[in-house]
Amino acid sequence: MTIDKIRPGGVIDPYLPVRARISRIIEENPRIRTLVLEPLEELPAANGARSTAGRSSAYQPGQFVMVSVPHCGEAPISLASSPHEPELRLSVLKVGLLTEALHRLPVGAEVGLRGPYGRPFPLADLHGRRLLFIAGGIGLAPLRSVLESCLAEPEKFGPLTLLYGSRTPADLAFGEDLARWQQSGRVDCRLTVDQGAPGWTGAVGLVTELLAELEPAPEQTSVLICGPPPMIRAVCRQTAATGIAPEQIITTLERQMKCGLGLCRHCHLDHHLVCVDGPVYTLAQLQQLEIMELG
């Protein structure tokens, strides 16, 4: 599904958002909510092929959309849903004016969408491999898209492990999903929190400590990482130290973006523009770039 739109006269205007209605809201924690969206307009793909919202596989895990919120402009947000799911999902952390406005919108309100943009996770390259997902906080959103895609085609992938860290037990988001994944028996979910709380019986510590307990088979394992920059840095270092090749360590970056088209240059990263050259990168690629996350 590509969310470009046609101007009168038949020319595609890449800046024009399409309308999407919020059909459901999941409060993941006090600062993260997931919006389930129903696009209201037909969407021509970038290559000119037409597809209908939700039913197509025209977006891929790891891609993002530019989300318009009334009076707040646009911001890039990863698609948290998988193309195999019937609906679009955006999971949003409250960090600034636009995301706070998104947290105030009720069911039935509309947002604008354009995209999808960016290079996705290289799913075809991951066929047959053991996948280790490592996420912190809101970082689970883009990885959720990958996980759901793997679960939809279980025959194509090896065993799935998820390490998920939060600050406190109350901050753990995506509870519905975690429960479902655990119950399915197909994802080995391991959770940790930085600070425990009464009633929390799980692990306490950084996600890197959970990782230290695992012994991933370096030859067969690919790692997918998303979280705050210090976490990305630590996890990349640690997984590389276990002998996993840098080509098999994959992360996705967050940057300020205004166009998504490789023009506005807010997301410049060395000679790359993250909106078109990323946001998904392997550690091998990042090692060629000068970048804060590895700083």
Partner 1 sequence: MSDQYLLSRDHLAPLLRRLAKEYRLVAPVRNDHGDTMFQEIANPVATVPDLESQPQNSLKDFLFPQQEHLYDYRLDDAGGYHFQPPATTTPPTLFFGVRPCDLNAVLYLDVVFLPGRRELSYRRRRENSLLIGLNCNQPFADCFCAAVNAGPFLEEGSDLQLTDLGRDFLVEVGRAGGAEIIRRWPHFFRSAPAEERNRRFQLYLEARGGFSRQVHADQAIKRLAADTLPSGVWEELATRCQDCNGCAYLCPTCTCFTIVDQPQDQHHGRRLRLWDACTATGFTAMAGGHNPVQPGKDKLRQRFRHKLELDVKKHGRPSCMGCGRCVGACFGGADILHFINLAGR
Partner 2 sequence: MAGLATTFGSGAMTNSINEIEAAEVILVSGSNTTEAHPQVARRIYAAKDRGAKLIVIDPRRTAIARLADLHLALKPGSDIPLINGLMKVILDENLADDLFIELRTENFFALRDYLYRLDLAEVYRQTGVAPEELRRAALLYGRAGKAVICYCLGVTQHVCGTANVEVLANLAMLTGNVEKEDAGVDPLRGQNNVQGACDMGALPGMLPGYQPVTDPEARQRFAAAWGVEPPAWPGRTLLAMTHGREPDSGDGPVSKSDSPAAKPGGAGGADQPGQPDPASGIRALLIMGENPLLSDPDLNGVAENFRRLDFLAVSDIFLTETAAQADVVFPAACFAEKDGCFTNTERRVQLISRAVAPPGQAKSDLEIIAALSQQLGYPMDYQSAAEVMEEIALLTPIYGGIYHDRLAGGWGLQWPCWDRQHPGTPYLHKYYFTRGRGRFAVAEHQPPAESTDADYPLLLNTGRVYHHYHTGSMTRHSAILNRECRHPLLQINPADARARQIAGGEAVRLISRRGEVEFKAELSQQVPPGMVYGNFHFAEAPINQLTTTASDRRARCPEYKICAVRLEKAGGDEGRRP
Q: How many residues bind partner 2 (CB under 8 A)?
A: 6
Residues between 14 and 33 with contacts to partner 1, criterion CB under 8 A: 14-17, 19, 21
Given partner 1, partner 2, none, residue 104, with its beta carbon under 5 to 8 Å by kind, binds none
Q: Which of 264, 284, 285, 294 binds partner 1 (CB under 8 A)?
A: 264
Cα(137)–Cα(135) distance, rounded to whole angstroms? 7
261 interacts with partner 1 by CB under 8 A = yes
CA distances from 19 to 37, 40, 86, 157, 222 (A): 10, 6, 17, 35, 37
Cα(134)–Cα(31) distance, rounded to whole angstroms? 20
> Between vectors from CA 271 to CA 269 and to CA 277, what angle results, nearest 5°?
70
Q: How far is the CB of 283 from partner 1 (least distance, A)?
A: 17
Q: Which of 52, 57, 184, 256 binds partner 1 (CB under 8 A)?
A: 256
Work out the number of other CB atoms within 10 angstroms of the CB of residue 67: 25
110 interacts with partner 1 by CB under 8 A = yes
Residues between 84 and 143 with contacts to partner 2, criterion CB under 8 A: 94-97, 100
Cα(169)–Cα(251) distance, rounded to whole angstroms? 25
Cα(26)–Cα(147) distance, rounded to whole angstroms? 19
Identity of the residue, 71 or 271, whose beta carbon is nearer to partner 2 in the bound complex = 71
Q: Which of 37, 43, 75, 234 binds partner 1 (CB under 8 A)?
A: 75
Q: Which of 50, 87, 97, 212 binds partner 1 (CB under 8 A)?
A: 97
Identity of the residue, 267 or 280, whose beta carbon is nearer to partner 1 in the bound complex = 267
Are 266 and 257 within 8 A, CB to CB? yes
Cα(283)–Cα(249) distance, rounded to whole angstroms? 5
**Positive or negative: CA dihedral 34, 36, 40, 41:** positive
Residues between 13 and 32 with contacts to partner 2, criterion CB under 8 A: 31
Binding site for partner 2 (CB under 8 A): 31, 94-97, 100
Binding site for partner 1 (CB under 8 A): 7, 11-17, 19, 21, 68, 70-75, 93, 95-99, 106, 108-112, 228-229, 254-256, 258-259, 261-269, 271, 291-293
